[in-house]
Amino acid sequence: MIVDLSYINRWDTYVEKEFCYLGENQMQIQKIVNATPHTITVIAEAGVLQDPKTKQYTANALEVEVIQVFQKSGILPRVSMFNDPVALFCDIPIEFVVYGEIEGLPEEEEGVYYIVSGLVAAAGVKLGRKDLMAPGKLVRDAANSSTVLGCLMLQIQ
């Protein structure tokens, strides 16, 4: 599904954004809450390069255009995990991981969307949640690839 977001209005507040767009399924987004432990910065594609081999996106930190910043809200949903030791290979423990329930995620509320980790978003899909977004297409600093500058989009699964 390709959605034209070019006409979205931008406000100067952080956690609460009021906008909507129409796609195959009409969605109205009234509020986006950052439910990650990181500030989420959405940046424009101008000046962002993608390495053809690694598919990694990079940009000069001083030249990126910030579209929007979502400050941390203090809500931190997590997917519970259980590790079951399976084997030892050359002194390296091998464990089977079982993912459980999402903990700490508020109930769905009409018009409210949450930015969460990709793991929480994927687990939410299995539960029928349609209000979860994850940062997509991370952009790293061209001078220091361990530094994430932001993302190019928010993805809904």
The DSSP code sequence of 102-122 is EESPPPP-TTEEEE--HHHHH
52-104 pLDDT, tens digit per residue, is 999 999 999 999 999 999 999 999 999 999 998 889 899 999 998 988 999 99
**Per the domain annotation, does 33 fall within a domain?**
yes
Rounded to whole angstroms, the Cα distance separating 42 from 136 reads 9
Q: How far apart are the first and last CA of the chain?
A: 11
Residues 6+ apart with CB under 8 A from 26: none
**Per the domain annotation, does 11 fall within a domain?**
no
**Per the domain annotation, does 8 fall within a domain?**
no
113-123 pLDDT, tens digit per residue, is 999 999 999 99
**Residue 31 belongs to what domain range?**
19-156
Give the count of domains, the chain: 1
**Per the domain annotation, does 31 fall within a domain?**
yes
**Per the domain annotation, does 10 fall within a domain?**
no
Whether the Cβ atoms of residue 34 and residue 70 lie closer than 8 Å to each other: yes
**Per the domain annotation, does 49 fall within a domain?**
yes
**Per the domain annotation, does 51 fall within a domain?**
yes
